[in-house]
Amino acid sequence: MTALIDAYDAALFDLDGVIYLGPQAVPGAVAATDELARRGVKLMYVTNNAARSAQTVVDQLVSLGFAADLDSVLTSAQVAAAKLEEELPAGAKVLVAGTDNLRGLLAQAGLQPVDGADDGPVAVVLGYDPAMGWPRLDEAALAVQRGAAWYATNDDRSRPTERGIVLGVGGMIAAIRTAVGGQPTTFGKPFRPMMDVARARTGAERPIFVGDRIDTDIIGANNAAMDSLMVFTGAHGKRDLLAAGPGQRPTHIGWDVSALLQPRREVGRTAQVESGEVVLTQVPPTREGQLDALWDVANLAWASGADAQAALDQLAELP
């Protein structure tokens, strides 16, 4: 059997919603990544979450049964610190609206983290912090208003957890933009810096990115001219897939990361266009069959512009 991964030399994984959901591993993810490593595939875990250190991420992965070390984990905070070290003069004051992890990485990069707009920062960096308070956002907004360059580790609007979807750093960005306008320079997915660093660190020539979100993972892979696998264990589902426009569509879909070890999903004959609508010629009874049908429906809808809502409603097993 030829597996999907056989066409690639590295697999880059988003974490939240793909590898784990909060404190729980996604079912089957440990076994799948173990098998990929056994086959000699380079693995890297790429997360937009800037709140935690890379070592903390490694510790969580190992505690859940994954094989991981610092060389296999990349965070948006690491990318932000490396890029700002290149862009800002040594010792430059940077207002940090994020966790101690982000502050520490910026300090290691030779920059001076500060807390307030009155401290004279030349730049503001936003990163996800579950303890973020309104006064800290006020200071960031004031610094941006006074001319500080504005950066963000990432712009995820939400985060999947074991309890459901919660707010991401995109909410912080929206609040500041509402107050003072502008848009930060962003380092994490879907922007190129993070994807380029991940590719360089693995040395991969043919990487595939595995993610659960269209807006960060899939668009990020497309922006980096990288193939992608969209999985349905996290934030986005069938309606998000159908709504994806050019430049937003995955190369492959699968239930979870184990799809890398299965044959490539081809477009079949379970759907057709009739009177401007995509209709299913059969409703597969199995979950895997329904995913095959979804891929048929998506490709037909994208190619023809036909409405596919009725067909989606029939795929009851899909999120």
User: Is residue 88 scored above 70 in pLDDT?
Assistant: yes
Which pLDDT tens digit goes with each residue over 140-152?
A: 999 999 999 999 9
User: Rounded mean pLDDT of 262-275?
Assistant: 88
Domains of the chain by range and CATH? Answer: 1-48+189-265 (3.40.50.1000), 87-186 (3.40.50.1000), 267-319 (no CATH)
Confidence of residue 270 (pLDDT cuts 50, 70, 90): confident
CA distance 90 to 103: 15
User: Rounded mean pLDDT of 21-38?
Assistant: 95
Q: What is the torsional sign of CA 143, 145, 148, 151?
A: positive
User: Is residue 128 scored above 80 in pLDDT?
Assistant: yes
User: Rounded mean pLDDT of 55-62?
Assistant: 96
CA distance 55 to 43: 16
Asked if 169 and 77 count as a contact pair (C-beta separation under 8 A), the reply is no
User: Is residue 306 scored above 70 in pLDDT?
Assistant: yes
Confidence of residue 115 (pLDDT cuts 50, 70, 90): very high
Mean per-residue pLDDT over the chain, rounded = 93
User: Is residue 165 scored above 80 in pLDDT?
Assistant: no
Q: What is the pLDDT of residue 156?
A: 84
User: Rounded mean pLDDT of 180-190?
Assistant: 94
User: Is residue 160 scored above 70 in pLDDT?
Assistant: no
Could you tell me which of 142, 54, 60 has the C-alpha nearest to residue 97?
142
Strands in the chain per DSSP E = 10-13, 20-21, 24-25, 42-47, 73-75, 93-97, 112-114, 123-126, 149-152, 158-161, 164-167, 185-186, 207-211, 227-231, 252-254, 271-274, 277-280
Length of the chain: 319
Helix (H, G, I), strand (E, B) or coil at 161: strand
Question: Which has the minimum average pLDDT: 39-43, 108-112, 211-215, 270-274?
Answer: 270-274
Could you tell me which of 14, 23, 27, 86 has the C-alpha nearest to residue 256?
27
Q: What is the pLDDT of residue 139?
A: 97
User: Rounded mean pLDDT of 243-268?
Assistant: 95
Which pLDDT tens digit goes with each residue over 187-198?
A: 999 999 999 999
Confidence of residue 12 (pLDDT cuts 50, 70, 90): very high
**What are the residue numbers of the active site?**
14, 16
User: Rounded mean pLDDT of 165-189?
Assistant: 91
Asked if 270 and 240 count as a contact pair (C-beta separation under 8 A), the reply is no
Q: Which residues pair with 13 in a beta bridge?
A: 45, 210
Q: What is the pLDDT of residue 158?
A: 78
274-313: b or e for each residue (b if 16 or more CB lie within 10 Å)? eeeebbbeeebeeeebbbbbbbbbbbbbbeeebbbeebbe
Confidence of residue 303 (pLDDT cuts 50, 70, 90): very high
CA distance 282 to 280: 5
User: Is residue 297 scored above 90 in pLDDT?
Assistant: yes
DSSP label at 257? G
In the sheet where 112-114 sits, what is the strand order? 112-114, 93-97, 123-126, 149-152, 185-186
CA distance 58 to 63: 8
Asked if 244 and 264 count as a contact pair (C-beta separation under 8 A), the reply is no
Q: Which residue has the higher pLDDT, 249 or 160?
A: 249
